[in-house]
Structure 1
């Protein structure tokens, strides 16, 4: 026989998903003798091409198709409340999202379901276009099954309803297990051991009362406890912070250089300062960073706690710092006019903004001024005042002129340019919400960002040149599967994208530029964002796709990120700048450290997002029945997610409430369309909605669609007719899908009288 080509091998694996090993594939294709070596070579080529994923020593699966039986790692709970994981192979997670669908067969004894962070051996199959996993054996268990939520009293004790809309559990609390909790308390409850013959709701016992639902700042309290973010520092760490003893080091005098800090007006700590001066043929720029490594020495109580936290966590109403404020806001803060230790980088740029050279300096400095972004920008814009006015010609104009040179090189480099508005919550003195505003994007922000990026690149370059271990900040190139999905989406808009070419940032930017101001502008922006990988920390360099940089490391914020502290120590050790550098033992643990701080970063992001959702729900709870303009930001088989204009709050419209039509999800077009008419609700579409229900405890908004759908795009009509052939509707609103978000009135605080809650507006 003629040996099959790559496509034949792929087709066979697709049609025979249980044939995953080389032996099974060879047997199925009747490959014998010397042809086995050729098959082995083809399998390796397909793996290198990304078409196959290695799932074992001699086993493969299609990169977009998990094996019928394999290890699944469950990493998150989606907006519908489903536990989501990915198949795990020799090279890590791969393939599509997999929904946990319960145990495989009859549960045995006290076997528990997997949770976030668990791995399980599962049977995996495809059902109605979704991949589902049924657990055979749970290999790793959650640290805790605790429930953070709202306690409400009943005749014989009480109940705890979850504070997260992703959690479907509810605990019944017997009177002896309430620990004094009162109606409306925010509590932590653990499941109570119960016999195999127990029927009915799960029993629980309260272990801690963390606050009350009427506390204006309860939103952050819930997020803190739900994600196990430490709030209290050990006494040993506090003692070290109160009596800081810096490591000895030879230092260069930078006190005569007019370094200044430019930060938000309400900043409590200042960990970076900048300076620029004109040279005959270019620019000299200095970025000075607080020398945190001198105070947080390896293995000390402060270091252990900083590693545990991984980073600072920023809630709308508070900051949970990585280091105690006694250190971060005092001795390691570059305060105006005060002598401070610094690890700085001096960079020389040509007139075209390209860096010619750089060197790192361990020195002493005095900040010449503490300016806010607004003060610095106003001075440059012709409205100087105070310190900014005094320094306009000598300090600020050289900084801006140097930035404009660097901006030329940045624009030529072409980092990904996504215009994503950032909304902030403003609070009154009593902790209640005063309003929501969009943070203004100033050139002063871009200046500091570009200087910090250049300093981060210089750190990575130096450590690579010194052959030093380091933790990179990596942002991988979008996967082939995501690019293919993006191309399919663009095709629904009659736009083209070459799938065969390597993704490049300038192509995304060109597309955004061409669509700027059109009806497709925001929906394509959202799709480009979804196409991107998540930035993480890693000891291996994968480059930074979003910034379009070959190497990148975090160096500029050691007060709030442990990764930067590692980079500082690596620079100190490799450049022989002191005795407090990175040890060989710590260097050998960088892979584990990188994974840990990537995990803590994701934990903080999730907690910050949950707290913000709750505050937005609190802000809107007295506006039930009001109408809003919004933009569709998510399309699922369960319904539509809409971001409300002004606040940016996300609400959900269940598919069954949209209209009497049968709605079908068009995954490629990121749209729902009505079977028959083809009328469509699409990602990015501006719609009018009514606020129907608010659950402040869970941060949920239930919306009603008021806008009519749009006509089906011409290019999609035939495709949708083909999709509808033989697709018999099962119910109004399209096929059922488990796990749509719950809006449970039991989770709201009790109020007197009828109608909506009359509680304080928060």
Structure 2
């Protein structure tokens, strides 16, 4: 297997401090009074001509990672000694920014007037000039690398000039568009543009329109805008489609004869009613000693050859992206929706897990095999739930009834075991989009989590756990799905918030998941349970992929990975390959040398593509939600305050699950001050308080479909007055300097 570092892309710099790099830094530190150019430095260090390119690449890598900095006239210095840092700029909606430096937990605050021409996501050089309120501050002195970005916005044409107003409010300048570069866009259309040049912070950037999407409100324009904004891949390259066609035919009798034949077994899929990419199928048998669970996962690794163009495209995408009404798949549909998909009554290749449980649902043994299966029934979650609720046996259910009854029993037992061990379940309210054939939202309703959803979830979780255990016990390098324990600072904040609403949540550095799960169980019937769950979830870190196994805190698992969705997640495909390579608890010697580097590269890349997809999916849902809410301006709803900021507070509307903003300027019964310490705003005269978790009745004032923002106004506050508290009139707080999460 290739190490795959090159698959990530040239701009993903993977760097480790080897001995040569340490020597370079040590030498430059010793000669700070005389900064040298690249060739001078090479000569001083005795670098021979054959090694010069390697040396130059090492220096460039050190510059890219911020250890070194390039000075005027090409001279090279130590970044720290010059009070210079290199990193990625994160621009806030308020216009200011933060420099995020890899492996440095403290960000540098950049005032709006010190951003120079930096845009959100650019790699920049910042000179740290001092501190403000204990926080380092600085100014951008150089754009090291512009992020290649599509800017989506509304085109405005006048007689003398034209410009694009970006949808992304982190871009605080309109983009000037010369007439010859406007693609004949019409006033008011949504367009895609790129910035051609921007060197003067006192002038607007100049750009070029690359695509006209259409007028806002036209079918498909909103989702096209999301795809372009996040630069999601739209088409597969011809060579990838060609390979997919070839791979789909890669099945002959010799492949089948080597596999365990399970085509006569009672196996079935349970998926959303409109699903086409069936990753998994299950079967459960009850016997005198307990239960036998078999979970059959599509054998994508048989069709996607390591290092092929098909494989490279899959790792580049990292995962499938699910937007309302559309899917951007990781693999071409010929594979994802056809030959890999575990379709009903079709022979399909699978990688199967066979797990034995005792009568209490405790996992006692497991094994894995390459199999061939034939699904006997294609069930939807609703099909299964209807059977559970009514006991009505439809023709589809009849084929698998006895098996399904055993599956239900086992799922309950596994779930009880999991929660007894401390696994957390944040069952937060979500809204379901009901859309017509044109992609327009016709209704929003609360998403219901069915018992049938939980059944499949339990079987997938326990299978992923079994795979991780199998490789961990072999003591071989592996790709784990890990979830770090929360920071004590975050938990202390959460505990203080709970105290203010009358609840106790003791915090210690040695907290275990079971303490969290017991707390959630204790508050599950509290009127503010959803809000409490949401706040605690915000205190948690993000789950990521990595080689070091630190366990999964949220699931309370010591060993966990992703194995069950190789059609839509690249890490699962890698895990299939690793598991298959494991023979007698060892990888083949030549392969074993490549595994650590390969896992590190894929883990980092796929953790990033996952977060990128989540942001796109979240924004797409919000766009659709706001499109629907625009038709309901003036209506009133009950809600709960979910966030308090210097400029107002956010309210989640019940039962729709959508959020809007009540601006402080819209509350006219008093002058309100922001109390950051207590997450609230307080009336100066009447002492009325609006704080996190408060119930409130609001009306919809305005909905902006372009920015996906909704303004609300107070109809009735259900909160009571608090005792008077001295609250200083504070300026809008930009951001605390805290230790940044390593995601």
**TM-score (normalizing by structure 1):** 0.79
Cα shift at 1:542:
2.0
631 and 142 in structure 1: CA distance in 2 versus 1, 3 angstrom threshold = farther
Partner in structure 2 of residue 427 of structure 1: 435
2:421 and 2:336 map into 1 onto residues whose CA distance is: 35
**CA separation of 1:392 and 1:363: change in aligned 2, threshold 3 A:** closer
- DSSP-derived class of the 1:176 partner: helix
Q: Deviations over 1:131-157 (max 9, x none)?
A: 563235457423225421121322234
For the pair 1:649 / 2:652, whether they are aligned, the reply is no
**Which residue of structure 1 lines up, in the alignment, with residue 191 of structure 2?**
187
Instruction: Determine the C-alpha separation between the residues in 2 that align with 1:627 and 1:488.
Output: 32
Match of 1:308 among 303, 313, 316: 316
Deviation of residue 255 (structure 1)? 1.4
Deviates more, 1:493-502 or 1:285-294: 493-502
Which whole-Å CA distance do the structure 1 matches of 2:518 and 2:702 have between them?
41
CA distance in 2, matches of 1:654, 1:71: 37
Q: 2:276 aligns with which of 268, 276, 294?
A: 268
Distance 2:349 2:199 in 1: 61
Residues 258 and 395 in structure 1, CA contact (< 8 A), matched pair in contact too: yes
Map of 2:145 onto structure 1: 141
1:654 CA displacement = 2.2
Match of 1:598 among 595, 602, 607: 607
Question: Using the alignment, how far apart are the partners of 2:678 and 2:444 within structure 1?
Answer: 32
1:747 maps to which residue? none
- Contact 1:457/1:552 (CA < 8 Å) preserved in 2? yes
Q: Once the 2 structures are TM-superposed, how far is the Cα of residue 613 of structure 1 from its aligned partner?
A: 1.3
Deviation digits for residues 251-298 of structure 1, max 9, x if unmatched?
111212211100011111111000111122111100000000011111
Partner of residue 46, structure 1: none
1:613-672 Cα distance to aligned partner (Å, 9 max, x none): 111111122333333322211111222112222332221222232235343333343222
Deviations 1:163-188 (A, max 9, x none): 22333221122212212212233222
2:647/2:732 contact within 8 Å kept: yes
User: What is the rounded CA distance, in whole Å, between the counterparts of 2:129 and 2:456 in structure 1?
Assistant: 49
Q: Distance in 1 between matches of 2:146 and 2:660?
A: 30
Question: Does the C-alpha gap of structure 1 residues 68 and 630 become closer, same or farther in structure 2, counting only changes over 3 Å?
Answer: farther
Contact residue 274 and residue 285 of structure 1 kept, 8 A: yes
SS state of the match for residue 706, structure 1?
Answer: strand
Deviates most, 419-428 or 464-473? 464-473
How far 1:387 sits from its partner (Å)? 3.5
Instruction: Give distance in 1, aligned partners of 2:268 and 2:90.
Output: 42
Three-state SS of the structure 2 residue aligned to 1:381 is helix
Residue 101 of structure 1 deviates from its aligned partner by 1.6
Alpha carbons 2:481, 2:561 under 8 Å: kept: yes
Task: Kindly indicate whether the alpha-carbon contact (under 8 Å) linking 1:670 and 1:682 is maintained by their aligned counterparts in 2.
Answer: yes
Match in the other structure for 2:240:
237
Q: Cα 1:394–1:327, aligned 2, differ >3 Å: closer, same or farther?
A: same
Is 1:701 matched up with 2:710?
A: yes
Residues 122 and 479 of structure 1, relative CA distance in 2, 3 Å threshold: farther
The structure-2 alpha-carbon separation of the partners of 1:68 and 1:615, relative to structure 1 and needing over 3 Å to count, comes to farther
My pick for the range that moved more, 703-712 or 180-189, is 703-712
Kept after mapping to 2: 8 A contact 1:486/1:527 = yes
Aligned to 2:731: 735
CA–CA distance in structure 2, aligned partners of residues 79 and 376 of structure 1: 46
* 1:50-93: CA deviation from partner (whole Å, max 9, x where unpaired): xxxxx99xxxxxxxxx99967474475556565445465xxx24
Q: Secondary structure at the match of 2:505?
A: coil
Counterpart residue number, 1:398: 406
Q: CA deviation at 1:395?
A: 1.8
Task: Label 1:652 to 1:70 Cα distance change in 2 as closer, same or farther (>3 A).
Answer: farther
Counterpart secondary structure, 2:105: strand
Matches of 2:292 and 2:158, distance apart in 1: 70
Q: Which residue of 1 aligns with 2:683?
A: 674
For 1:195 and 1:554, locate their aligned partners in 2 and report how far apart those are by CA, in whole Å: 45
Match of 2:213 in 1: 210
- The one of 569, 572, 575 equivalent to 1:564 is 572
Cα distance, 1:571 vs structure 2: 0.5
The reply to whether residue 441 of structure 1 matches residue 446 of structure 2 is no
Matches within 5 A, 1:500-649: 500-575=508-583, 584-585=593-594, 587-649=596-658
Q: What count of residue pairs does the alignment treat as equivalent?
A: 652
Which residue number corresponds to residue 228 of structure 2?
A: 225
In the alignment, is the contact (CA less than 8 A) between 1:114 and 1:138 conserved in 2?
no
Q: Is contact 2:643-2:692 (8 Å) kept?
A: yes
Corresponding residue for 2:105?
94
C-alpha displacement of 1:412: 1.4
Partner of 1:155: 159
Q: Which residue of 2 aligns with 1:31?
A: none
Whether 2:177 is the aligned partner of 1:173: answer yes
1:713 CA displacement = 4.8
Whole-angstrom distance in 2 between the partners of 1:529 and 1:68: 40
Are 1:287 and 1:346, in contact at CA under 8 Å, matched by a contact in 2? yes
For 1:73 and 1:658, the matched residues in 2 are separated by 40
Contact map agreement 1:287 1:345 (CA 8 A) in 2:
yes
State the partner residue of 1:47: none
Q: Distance in 1 between matches of 2:203 and 2:551?
A: 53
CA contact (8 A) 2:422 2:515 kept: no
Cross-structure match for 1:658: 667
CA 1:119/1:385 → structure 2, altered by over 3 Å: closer, same or farther? farther
CA contact (8 A) 1:543 1:550 kept: yes
Structure 2 vs 1, CA of residues 377 and 81 (structure 1 numbering), >3 Å: closer, same or farther? farther
Structure 1 residues 103 and 383 mapped into 2: Cα distance closer, same or farther (>3 Å)?
Answer: same
The 8 Å contact of residues 414 and 548 in structure 1, kept in 2 or not, is answered as: yes
With over 3 angstroms needed to count, the CA separation of the structure-2 counterparts of 1:73 and 1:511, relative to structure 1, is: farther
What displacement does 1:482 show?
0.7
Counterpart position of 2:692? 683
Report matched runs for 1:324-473 at 5 Å: 324-391=332-399, 393-473=401-481
Residues 77 and 135 of structure 1: CA distance in aligned 2, closer, same or farther (over 3 Å): closer
Alpha-carbon contact 1:81-1:166 (below 8 Å) kept: yes
How far is the alpha carbon of 1:348 from its aligned partner? 0.5
Tell me the distance in 1 between the aligned counterparts of 2:685 and 2:105: 37
Against the structure 1 CA distance between its residues 571 and 488, is the aligned structure 2 distance closer, same or farther, given a 3 Å change threshold? same
The SS at the match of 1:213 is: coil
Contact 2:293 2:356 in 1 (8 A): yes
Normalised by the length of structure 2, the TM-score is 0.81
TM-aligned CA distance change 1:555 to 1:213, over 3 Å = same
Aligned to 2:54: none
Determine the C-alpha separation between the residues in 2 that align with 1:362 and 1:582: 21
CA distance in 2: counterparts of 1:73 and 1:633, whole angstroms: 32
CA distance in 2, matches of 1:602, 1:546: 18
Deviation of the 1:312 alpha carbon: 0.5
Question: Secondary structure, in 3 states, of the residue corresponding to 2:316?
Answer: helix
Secondary structure of residue in 1 paired with 2:534: helix
Is the 8 Å Cα contact of residues 469 and 570 (structure 1) preserved in structure 2? no
How far is the alpha carbon of 1:333 from its aligned partner?
0.4
Q: Is the 8 A contact 2:118 2:124 kept in 1?
A: no
Aligned partners of 2:283 and 2:293 also within 8 Å: yes
**Is the partner of 2:270 in helix, strand or coil?**
strand
| CA shift in 2, pair 1:119/1:513, >3 Å | farther
